[in-house]
Amino acid sequence: MPTIVLKVKRMSELLGREITVEELERVVPWLGVDIENVGIDYVKIEYNPNRPDFSSQEGVARALKGFMEIETGLPKYNVESGSVVLKVDPSVRSVRPWIVCGVVRGIKLDEERIVEIIEMEEALDWAIGRNRAISSIGLHNLDAVKPPFKYHAVLPDEIRFVPLDMNIEMTLREILNVHPKGVAYRHILEGSERYPIITDQDGNVLSFPPIINGILTRITEDTRNIFIDLTGTRLEAVSAALNILVTAFAEMGGRLESVTVEYPDRTLSVPDLSPSRWTLSVKNTNKLLGLKLRPKQVAKCLEKMRLGVEYIGEELSVLVPAYRYDIMHEIDLIEEVAIGYGYFNLEPTLPSIVTMALENPVQRISNKVRMIMIGFGFTEVVNSTLANYKEHFEYMMVEGDPVRILNPVSAEYNILRSSLIPCLLKVLSSNKHESFPQMIFEVGDVVVLDEEAETGARRILHLAGAITHSEANFTEIKSVAEGVVREIGAKNYVFRATSHPSFIHGRCAEVRINENLIGIVGEIHPKVLNNFELEYPVCVFEYDLQSLLESD
């Protein structure tokens, strides 16, 4: 979890009034952060990655101003029209296609402030950029170079420049092999024939994103005008990080200027700090929070959280500032209302009716099948719902449209699984050194797209089992799969021959109850075994427990 040190002197300056360590320690946690350490003149907090705007003292102070009602409502920032232009060459499209920029003028820096800026940059690279894979930040002394700038891709040995923390010129290839930052982040550019760079009018290198900046534009205490570049693979991510950065610089006293970014097919004027517009139902808010707030009270809570309210009625028209990258759904706005209202103001109440709890039917059947599988001699495994597209589809020789992760932590987990079988095959692949036979099962959620669901996707509880040894076969796994439905007490079930790319032809069957499809059973295809580097035959089955319940 990212952390930041809130210094009492600086926070007092930003809040416009004196604040003590004790007051800071008492108030800050209500914003949804944790206190990690408290000193004589500081409070160190740990904040959630979903609030990257808390990566600077300015961002936290801005939120505190609203919560403490020093300054409420939507913060407003002026972005002057600037003359700086950056041209994007088509050569970067296959490497790192997106770039946005900004200019900050009249900033006053000292050693402490520079350290804070670097820490903010690193926090955003982690929280939004996923360690620079999705977006990365470059800060430059604008007065050391001459616009217009150019973002283009070059061959590894085509250009030489002096990178930060070095005193000799190096090619891009040398930087990746020798420079500490190059070694740490070269995997991001792995497989690319050309590498992206940013140069000025005279060909001077500002940056080799996402690896390292040039020493020419190093930020020092004498820097007054800053050029910001953010490159990445998603326009939304780089734009969000830029908005957080420039608004923090504005809180530091800098003047913001736009940059014209000319793509081959479009032209952007950035940063764009226009707020996004949302609709919030007062009825839904009160229902979820258990309150009876009037529309004006809901509006006041939102304004304390530095959101704007354009219209007040049974539905509110809400303005969300551009630096709030975390607002994605109405439920996020309701959470803002709860924080603005104050969790400490919520009064615990006893239920108004007397009732007796019963175990959820889905939970009941999942517990039952666990006991059945353990009785059959299987060992339970537990895997993450997050999964890898290649393993779940390419390795299984099938096509599909899974629920994809918009901003994955790594390529290893870029979807939500839609089947348990690939997870079991991966477990078997990781345990080839163990003795055979191996018999494992899992009871867990899969996630599938569903247009009728509120979130566009729904969870379904599945059961899957796998057997591997030198003579594992269809008959063996079918007896287990049939035993499960029999022990559950299901009736009118049938096993019907079918074909599936993941299974050997003629050794695969679908399972139906009252003609409703509830699962599949079969012997894994040799090509799938090779993809998972499995040496022995593997036979598997998988049931949709929810469908099994409804079909019985």
Residue-wise pLDDT tens digits, 175-190: 999 999 999 999 999 8
What are the tokens at 80? Answer: 């002057």
56 with 41, same domain: the answer is: yes
| Cα 470 to chain centroid, rounded | 42
- Rounded Cα distance between 399 and 390, Å, is 10
Is 351 a member of any domain?
no
Q: Which of 276-285, 295-304, 442-451, 542-551 has the lowest mean pLDDT?
A: 542-551
Mean pLDDT of the chain: 92
What are the tokens at 98? Answer: 């997106």
- Rounded Cα distance between 218 and 203, Å, is 17
Domain termination residue (choose one: 41, 67, 93): 67
60 with 84, same domain: the answer is: no
- Place 299 in a pLDDT band, splitting at 50, 70 and 90: very high
Are 13 and 23 in contact by the 8 Å Cβ rule? The answer is: no
Three-class SS of residue 201? Answer: coil
Are 539 and 529 in contact by the 8 Å Cβ rule? The answer is: no
Give pLDDT tens digits for 111-136.
999 999 999 999 998 888 878 878 89
Is 191 a member of any domain?
yes
Residue whose entry in the numeric block shows the structure tokens 């022995």: 536
Looking at the predicted structure, is the pLDDT value of residue 552 above 60?
A: no
In angstroms, what CA-CA distances link 188 with 174, 193, 260? 16, 13, 27
- Rounded Cα distance between 317 and 134, Å, is 32
128 with 148, same domain: the answer is: yes
Q: Which of 33-37, 79-83, 200-204, 515-519 has the lowest mean pLDDT?
A: 515-519
Query: How buried is residue 459: exposed, middle or buried, by Cβ count under 10 Å (0-12/13-18/19+)?
Result: middle
Give pLDDT tens digits for 300-357.
999 999 999 999 999 999 999 999 989 989 999 999 999 999 999 988 888 778 788 7
- Rounded Cα distance between 513 and 551, Å, is 6
- Place 471 in a pLDDT band, splitting at 50, 70 and 90: very high
The DSSP bridge partners found for residue 277 are 319
Are 445 and 385 in contact by the 8 Å Cβ rule? The answer is: yes
Number of domains in the chain: 4
Looking at the predicted structure, is the pLDDT value of residue 261 above 80?
A: yes
In angstroms, what CA-CA distances link 217 with 86, 146, 162, 167, 210? 16, 11, 11, 14, 16
**pLDDT of the residue at 211:** 96
Domain termination residue (choose one: 287, 315, 345): 345
- Rounded Cα distance between 265 and 314, Å, is 43
Are 498 and 509 in contact by the 8 Å Cβ rule? The answer is: yes
CATH of the domain at 98: 3.50.40.10
pTM greater than the 0.85 cutoff? no
Looking at the predicted structure, is the pLDDT value of residue 452 above 90?
A: no
226-232 vs 98-105, strand pairing mode: antiparallel
> 493-513: buried (b, 16+ CB within 10 Å) or exposed (e) per residue?
bebeeeebebbbeebbbbbbb
Residue whose entry in the numeric block shows the structure tokens 């994955």: 408
Domain termination residue (choose one: 319, 345, 371): 345
Q: Give the range of the structural domain holding residue 294, as residue numbers without chain letter.
A: 276-345
Looking at the predicted structure, is the pLDDT value of residue 397 above 90?
A: yes
Higher pLDDT, 79 or 454: 79
258 with 284, same domain: the answer is: no
- Rounded Cα distance between 108 and 97, Å, is 33
239 with 290, same domain: the answer is: no
Are 480 and 436 in contact by the 8 Å Cβ rule? The answer is: no
Three-class SS of residue 197? Answer: strand
- The mean pLDDT of 256-280, rounded to a whole number, is 96
- Place 456 in a pLDDT band, splitting at 50, 70 and 90: confident
Residue whose entry in the numeric block shows the structure tokens 């295809």: 525
Looking at the predicted structure, is the pLDDT value of residue 418 above 70?
A: yes
Is 305 a member of any domain?
yes
247 with 371, same domain: the answer is: no
**pLDDT of the residue at 408:** 67
The DSSP bridge partners found for residue 138 are 229
- Rounded Cα distance between 430 and 424, Å, is 10
Give pLDDT tens digits for 23-42.
999 999 999 999 999 999 99
Looking at the predicted structure, is the pLDDT value of residue 1 above 70?
A: yes
538-544 vs 267-270, strand pairing mode: unpaired
Give pLDDT tens digits for 92-109.
999 999 999 999 999 999
266 with 142, same domain: the answer is: yes
Give pLDDT tens digits for 81-90.
999 999 999 9
What are the tokens at 238? Answer: 């780089």
29 with 87, same domain: the answer is: no
**pLDDT of the residue at 365:** 85
Residue whose entry in the numeric block shows the structure tokens 């700086």: 84
Three-class SS of residue 337? Answer: helix
Give pLDDT tens digits for 483-510.
999 988 888 889 999 999 999 999 999 9
What are the tokens at 345? Answer: 């103001």
- The mean pLDDT of 383-399, rounded to a whole number, is 92
340 with 319, same domain: the answer is: yes
